[in-house]
Amino acid sequence: MNEADAGKPRLLAGGNPQISKGSGDGPVRTYIEAMPGWKSAVGRRIDTLITEAIPDVKKAVKWNSPLYGIADRGWFLGFHCLTKSVKVAFFRGSALCPLPPGPSKQKDVRYLDIPEDGPFDAAQFTEWVKQASLLPGEKM
């Protein structure tokens, strides 16, 4: 490791940053800033849209992924880096309308893959976030 890389988080498979788990905005911002290349801008956009839609959203980094939730309902969304996309997981996505496009082996989970040059419908994403925040989520 050279001096320029000292203190930077290690990148795991697909470029996913290895960040110590922690609660609050700080660890999520650290994760987003460590996302490689164009993925960092996608992470900032996702974070901004979620925070604007749900001002009292709770944030944390667990399992090397930012998580978003509501205190009395649990985590409703998380995301992580893959080689060619940023993958958003809606933990109760099967209850969203319309369904997010990415299926899962888990009955309730649905995914949204955001590639570098692909379309991103911010209005639809925001609607999914609002819907997901009202559903019971994963234990915090």
Other Cβ atoms within 10 Å of 126 Cβ, number: 15
Rounded to whole angstroms, the Cα distance separating 25 from 64 reads 15
What is the per-residue pLDDT across 90-106, written as a single tens digit (0 to 9) for each? 999 999 999 999 999 99
Domain over 7-133 is classified CATH 3.90.1150:
yes
**Domain map (residue ranges) of the chain:** 7-133
The whole model's pTM is what?
Answer: 0.93
Confidence at residue 3, expressed as pLDDT on a 0 to 100 scale: 41
What is the per-residue pLDDT across 31-89, written as a single tens digit (0 to 9) for each? 999 999 999 999 999 999 999 999 999 999 999 999 999 999 999 999 999 999 999 99
Average pLDDT over residues 13-23: 92
Which of 71, 23, 18, 77 lies closest to 47 in space, CA to CA?
77
For residue 9, CA distances in Å to 6, 30, 42, 82 come to 9, 9, 18, 16
